[in-house]
Amino acid sequence: MTKLSVNINKIATLRNSRGGKVPDLLKVSTDIQEFGAQGITIHPRPDERHIRYRDAHDLKPVVTAEYNIEGNPIPKFRELVLAVKPTQVTLVPDSVDQITSNAGWDTITHQVFLKDIIAEFKKAGIRTSIFIDTDLKRIEAAAAAGTDRIELYTEHFATEYSKGNNDVVKRYREAAILAHELGLGINAGHDLNLKNIEFFKKNIPNLAEVSIGHALISESLYLGFENVVNMYLHRLQ
């Protein structure tokens, strides 16, 4: 079964909009795990507009499932990850002012940089993953950089699938097959939702984990957290 990691950035956004501690990020994380999710994901950004760096520390004793911290490996982020020691760190090449991630790494151009960062995290016992597009040469370069996993950037899949273009999944399948042959674990994330997750899962071999935040939180406004988490788990079986 593919694991479900819930990105709780939007919960932090709601909390920050009024100040204080409502909704309680730690309570929500505990509940999501009790509802069956196998992981919690956070993506702190330098401006701390949603997840704060302090949250990453506070969540450590609360997250008993897999703990995934995403972000651009600037010095401050690297210090945070090495201090918290999550299960997994996902390297994402987003700029300081980006609203959301919109591209994977150019692992060919940045291979030396990524190789050094990955070695640093792996030495600390932290599993590494690189956020990446479906370009096969870049997946080969990711493997050469020493990463444990890749996370396929799925916005293009979600957009095309919503238009009825089911063939778009083929490039993701080819990427996943190559990654597996290279000894990499396969994660996926960005714009996956209840409408497209089952089709994606069925067509991507060896899919270890999906990270879903915005869609899952939005769907939960109508259907409730416990119900939505279990709907995802059912589709991922």
* DSSP-based three-state secondary structure for 153: strand
* DSSP-based three-state secondary structure for 188: strand
Mean pLDDT, the chain, whole residue set? 95
- The per-residue pLDDT for range 155-179, each reduced to its tens digit, is 999 999 999 999 999 999 999 999 9
Catalytic machinery residues: 43, 70, 190
- How many Å apart are CA 30 and CA 19, to the nearest integer? 21
- How many Å apart are CA 219 and CA 78, to the nearest integer? 32
Structural tokens at position 153: 């950037």
Q: Within 10 Å of residue 34's Cβ, how many Cβ atoms?
A: 11
Sequence-separated (6 or more) residues with CB below 8 Å from residue 130: 90, 91, 104, 105, 107, 114, 118, 142, 145, 147, 149, 150, 151
Q: Is the dihedral of CA 190, 191, 196, 198 positive or negative?
A: positive
Structural domains in the chain plus CATH codes: 3-236 (3.20.20.70)
98: confidence class by pLDDT, cuts 50, 70, 90: low
1: confidence class by pLDDT, cuts 50, 70, 90: confident
- The per-residue pLDDT for range 119-135, each reduced to its tens digit, is 999 999 999 999 999 99
Report how far apart the first and last C-alpha atoms of the chain are (Å, whole number): 5
For tokens 């980006």, name the residue.
98
- The per-residue pLDDT for range 71-81, each reduced to its tens digit, is 999 999 999 99
Q: Does 141 have pLDDT greater than 60?
A: yes
Mean pLDDT throughout 38-67?
96
Percent of the chain with pLDDT strictly greater than 90: 93
Q: What is the DSSP letter of 19?
A: -
Structural tokens at position 56: 């990453």
Q: Does 97 have pLDDT greater than 80?
A: no
Q: Whole-prediction pTM value?
A: 0.95
Q: Does 96 have pLDDT greater than 60?
A: no
For tokens 């984990």, name the residue.
209
